[in-house]
Amino acid sequence: MEAIDKLNAHLADVINLSRAAAVLSWDQQTYMPPGGAEARAEQLATLSKLAHEHFVSEETGRLLEAAEAAVQGMNGDSFEAALVRVVRHDYDLETKLPTSLVEAIARETTRAHEVWVKAREKDDYAAFAPTLERIFDLMRQKAEALGYQDRPYDALLDQFEPGMKTADVARLFDELRAELVPFVQQVFERLDAVDHAMLHLEYDVEKQAQFGLDVVKQLGYDFERGRQDKAVHPFTTNFSINDVRITTRYMPNYLPSALFSSVHEAGHALYEQGSDQSLEKTMLAGGTSLGVHESQSRLWENLVGRGRPFWQYFYPKLQQLFPEQLGGVDLEAFYRAINFVSRSLIRVEADEVTYNLHIMLRFEMENDLLEGKLAFKDAPDAWNAKMEQYLGITPPTDREGILQDVHWSAGLVGYFPTYALGTLLSVQYWDKALADVPEIPSEIARGNFAPLLGWLRENIHRHGRKYWPAELTLRVTGEPIQTRSFMRYLREKYSEIYGL
């Protein structure tokens, strides 16, 4: 396939430039001294510009058309057909936007970040509202430029979850809301049933770090092809299938933070490390969507890391490391503690039970703001009313309400739903893995994660971006994304923990 080879050779420069920018960005968030910020911003801008220009060049368009002609009539499952489909998707995303709009978005979001940081600090939504309105106006222009059939949000969502429609998300969320809101209220009435005070004692950070490293190594994260460092906001990044970095942060007075953040990021990294080696240096390497990516991080964090079998194996080791804090706490009490539910106002602190309600709120507000159904001055009230309706709590300040997340100031509209989609998918994939390999839980209880990782590698990781999310899920589980599995999982697990 000469046309495919030519396309890949041309795109190799784009990939190299982007990966080099990723190295600089990783360094910025881990080791760079504050003095490097200004020069780093310029270096990143130059590399990103070069990558973008190379990608949207007429040369790419020509090579892509030739490749499309060459794969006509080929099996859609083939590497070649998948590559062409993915490159076309990304190429259209980047070329349909006029340069003036790309620049306007970059300018506005750079400025918006500072405005948002200050407004959040001072709990002053009014100071952020005009900026937020401009950003949503730019997002509306972006949606028009990208094009959509039904709703402008479709175009924005497609950047992060290719093929997913606003109507699909709305239907899933309607189903979820109907069951989740009353269930959350039931759990809220029993919050005292779980004691988690022992998690908030003093835990030596060095020991936490060692334990976290041992855990992710045992899960199967390959340190020959990765490493873990500290970052203020934990993230995963990669420069190749064979160099995938994770980060974590340590809190001396809250044990779960570092560990679950390490396991979460390792879940993302296992997906990236698991792409088939034949996809290296092609645009098919990596995760197929943010939702599927999040399904992997949450599967490891929640289904595995907050499950009983995991702690049957790891808890005695953790007790040995922290005898003063945990010596008198039995496994069952610890298991319940790490699964405690709370009336949190803050999304990033939310537990498995309440998390998706935080996401639905943002999805609904994004659509209303985008379609002009909600005035920007009324947005904090709308936020608080939804919090009251879904969680029965009203944020006392906008800092703990509408100003809490960075996404909107960064122009990331359409991004939030992928967190909830990932949560739903994590349970669907987990259920299928257990149906195929019933010994997965008993092997985890012996510290053997290979059967689970092997299943994920075979069914999900190795394909990289070869299948769009909906197709992948259908192939893996035999049905589309749905809410039934997640709700059944929640009910079973939390009815037991909270004695409902």
Q: Is 93 helix (H, G, I), strand (E, B) or coil?
A: helix
Closest contact distance (angstroms) between CB of 268 and Zn ion is: 6
CA separation for the pair 391, 358 (Å, rounded): 9
> Taking the CA of residue 76 as centre, how many other CA atoms within 13 Å lie in the half-sphere pointing to its CB?
6
Closest contact distance (angstroms) between CB of 247 and Zn ion is: 12
Reference 87, options 56, 109, 114, 108; nearest CA is: 56
188: Cβ contacts below 8 Å, ≥ 6 apart: 341, 343, 392
CB 211 within 8 A of CB 317: yes
Closest contact distance (angstroms) between CB of 297 and Zn ion is: 4
Q: 121: which 2 tokens?
A: 């600090």
**Nearest residue (beta carbon) to Zn ion:** 297
Closest contact distance (angstroms) between CB of 453 and Zn ion is: 18
Q: 3: which 2 tokens?
A: 């046309």
Which segment (185-193, 276-284, 291-299, 466-474) binds Zn ion by CB under 5 A? 291-299
Cβ closest to Zn ion, residue 8 vs residue 297: 297
Cβ closest to Zn ion, residue 67 vs residue 290: 290
The string of DSSP codes covering 206-254 is HHHHHHHHHHHHHHT--GGG--EEE-SS--EEEEETTEEEEEE---TT-
Active-site residues: which are they?
265
289 touches Zn ion by CB under 5 A: no
Residue labelled with tokens 């990765």: 226
CB 203 within 8 A of CB 255: yes
Closest contact distance (angstroms) between CB of 426 and Zn ion is: 11
Which segment (169-177, 213-221, 296-304, 327-335) binds Zn ion by CB under 5 A? 296-304
Q: 393: which 2 tokens?
A: 């709590």
Cβ closest to Zn ion, residue 423 vs residue 428: 423
Closest contact distance (angstroms) between CB of 403 and Zn ion is: 22
Cβ closest to Zn ion, residue 291 vs residue 464: 291
> Backbone phi, then psi, for 439, in 5-degree steps?
-80, 5
Which segment (122-130, 178-186, 249-257, 294-302) binds Zn ion by CB under 5 A? 294-302
DSSP element (H, E) containing 496: helix 484-497
Residue labelled with tokens 């969680």: 391
Cβ closest to Zn ion, residue 250 vs residue 415: 415
CB burial class (10 A; 0-12, 13-18, 19+) of residue 421? buried
Which segment (56-64, 91-99, 204-212, 290-298) binds Zn ion by CB under 5 A? 290-298
Cβ closest to Zn ion, residue 348 vs residue 500: 348
Beta bridge partners of 229: 247
CA separation for the pair 287, 333 (Å, rounded): 36
CA separation for the pair 331, 445 (Å, rounded): 13
Cβ closest to Zn ion, residue 298 vs residue 493: 298
CB 181 within 8 A of CB 357: yes
State the DSSP code for 378.
Answer: G
CA separation for the pair 235, 268 (Å, rounded): 9
Binding pattern for the stretch 238-277 against Zn ion, x by CB under 5 A and - elsewhere: ----------------------------------------
Q: Which of 297, 356, 384, 428 binds Zn ion (CB under 5 A)?
A: 297
Cβ closest to Zn ion, residue 60 vs residue 297: 297
499: Cβ contacts below 8 Å, ≥ 6 apart: 190, 193
Task: Count interface residues toward Zn ion (CB under 5 A).
Answer: 1
User: For binding to Zn ion (CB under 5 A), which residues are involved?
Assistant: 297
